[in-house]
Amino acid sequence: MSQATTLHAEVTQWLSEHWDPNMDLLTWRSLVADSGWGAPSWPSDYYGKDMSPLDAGVVEQAFADHGAVGAAQSGVRMLAAVTLLAHGSHEQKQKYLRGILTGEDQWCQLFSEPGSGSDLAGATTRADLRGDEWIINGQKVWNTSAHHAQYGLLLARTDWDAPKHQGLSYFVIDMEQPGVEVRQLAQMNGHASFNEVFMTDAVVNRDDLVGEAGGGWKCAMTTLANERRSFDRARDVGARKGRQGKIFADLEEEFAIANEPYTWYPQRAGRVDLILQRAMETGAINDPAQRQDIARLHIMAESAKWTGERAKAAAKAGKPQGPEGSLGKLAASNVARLAARVHTAICGNDALLTGPNSPMGGVIAEILVSTPAISIAGGTDEIQKNIIAERVMGLPKEPRVDDGPFRDVRRNTSGTTTKS
């Protein structure tokens, strides 16, 4: 028997002893988290089993084969987990990782600001140490799920005299406190996944500084590298529709509330899966020009999938993030853009319609107005091109005008609420 088969059998045995779809979701996920099977590649000190990513894949497969629900995976929580595992203290790992796996805690990423998105290191939200507390003042924006989050991953400036990248620190902030005000933003696709977050004398306990003061950039890079690597991976949503039992009813509820900000994510990726069906239904498949575009789209989408597979294989082999993160993200943008164009060509003017009589009940229109997001989230296309040019191809770096103490660096202050 191969090692993978033995492992699969061991997990299946555990599942046949413990899995009960009539349990409530939290009780089940607590059992999964405490058993180590929820995150087997994590250290055994922190809810894992020290397994290789390859073996963790076997465990995941055994859960799927058994029809059992695994640990909570969706949203920003896994980015929080990888960052805490890499840079967090023993106490932080003990305090936060379990609630991530059980799904009790939701997380959000508080990086972007009105004056610093692509130029993330230009953040001006400030954190000042007073006694045992960091006092936070500033504004963040485009923060997905902040309106549901208990905790935020916060990048803030702690040293205004250090060079730009060295004056930043990384914190876990409790979102449910009087100093944090979250305001939802309306999007052109009708959803409201993002927020503006205003922090006015908000408090972070000294123990919730992740890594060292001034070491925030390194932590933020860990978060972002994993965000790019997992870009638009299928989320654990709706896949278990129609299954019987309390756990699945709880999952539906979780989906309706916690995963609500992500319901349009398949549309922002372009819904390539719908193209052939739509082309056949409408007869567009018989138009040679449209057939060419459809073929081009499929070639692009398939090759992007291979880049994704390379990224997954590298992750499974425990290799650090390579160029495939940025390459895959850029490919996803190109695929989504072309898919939106092909969907429009197939539908004609009707592509703009929403409501019950519109193409696919408004899904096509949602694709059109959602795909621009994929070229922006997690680093814009231009930023990915810069990364590929400089780090992969070894081309000369962009000229820098932001050396020296951050206090003296020229920066975009429009819309920012804090000054050095």
Ligand X SMILES: Cc1cc2nc3c(=O)[nH]c(=O)nc-3n(C[C@H](O)[C@H](O)[C@H](O)COP(=O)(O)OP(=O)(O)OC[C@H]3O[C@@H](n4cnc5c(N)ncnc54)[C@H](O)[C@@H]3O)c2cc1C
DSSP E strand stretches across 206-284: 209-210
Question: Of 409, 332, 337, which Cα lies nearest the Cα of 370?
Answer: 337
Among 379, 387, 406, 416, binds ligand X (CB under 6 A): 379
Among 220, 351, 373, 387, binds ligand X (CB under 6 A): 373
d(CA 226, CA 9): 30
Nearest-approach distance from CB 294 to ligand X, in angstroms = 26
- Specify the stretch interacting with ligand X by CB under 6 A; choose among 6-14, 67-75, 333-341, 371-379: 371-379
| Residue 357, CA atoms < 13 Å, CB-side half-sphere | 0
d(CA 397, CA 186): 37
Nearest-approach distance from CB 144 to ligand X, in angstroms = 4
d(CA 327, CA 335): 12
Binding status of residue 380 toward ligand X by CB under 6 A? yes
Of 128 and 382, CB closest to ligand X: 382
Nearest-approach distance from CB 117 to ligand X, in angstroms = 2
Of 119 and 287, CB closest to ligand X: 119
Tokens of 412: 């975009």
Tokens of 23: 């349990």
Nearest-approach distance from CB 354 to ligand X, in angstroms = 20
Nearest-approach distance from CB 108 to ligand X, in angstroms = 6
Binding status of residue 59 toward ligand X by CB under 6 A? no
Question: Of 64, 41, 37, 5, which Cα lies nearest the Cα of 240?
Answer: 64
Binding status of residue 195 toward ligand X by CB under 6 A? no
Q: What is the DSSP string of 317-341?
A: TTPPP-THHHHHHHHHHHHHHHHHH
Of 59 and 76, CB closest to ligand X: 76
Binding status of residue 382 toward ligand X by CB under 6 A? yes
Contact 161, 407 (CB under 8 A): yes
Length of the chain counted residue by residue: 420
Of 140 and 329, CB closest to ligand X: 140
Per-residue CA distances from 195 to 179, 304, 394, 415 (Å): 16, 30, 37, 15
Residues 109-148: x where in contact with ligand X by CB under 6 A, - otherwise, as a string: xxxx----xx---------------------x-xxx----
Of 316 and 337, CB closest to ligand X: 337
Of 53 and 163, CB closest to ligand X: 163
Contact 372, 410 (CB under 8 A): no
Nearest-approach distance from CB 109 to ligand X, in angstroms = 4
Binding status of residue 61 toward ligand X by CB under 6 A? no
Nearest-approach distance from CB 12 to ligand X, in angstroms = 37
Question: Of 111, 127, 312, 256, which Cα lies nearest the Cα of 197?
Answer: 111
d(CA 103, CA 235): 14
Among 162, 376, 389, 409, binds ligand X (CB under 6 A): 376
Beta-bridged to residue 174, according to DSSP, are 151
Binding status of residue 386 toward ligand X by CB under 6 A? yes
> CA Rg, the chain, in Å?
23
Nearest-approach distance from CB 74 to ligand X, in angstroms = 13
Q: Closest residue (Cβ) to ligand X?
A: 117
Contact 67, 243 (CB under 8 A): yes
Burial of 16 (0-12, 13-18, 19+ CB in 10 A): exposed
Nearest-approach distance from CB 110 to ligand X, in angstroms = 6
DSSP symbol at 165: G
Binding status of residue 321 toward ligand X by CB under 6 A? no
Residues 322-361: x where in contact with ligand X by CB under 6 A, - otherwise, as a string: ----------------------------------------
Of 70 and 117, CB closest to ligand X: 117
Per-residue CA distances from 47 to 83, 105, 246, 267 (Å): 15, 16, 25, 34
- Residues 79-108 within binding reach of ligand X (CB under 6 A): 108
- Residue ranges that bind ligand X, judged by CB under 6 A: 108-112, 117-118, 140, 142-144, 373, 376-377, 379-380, 382-383, 386
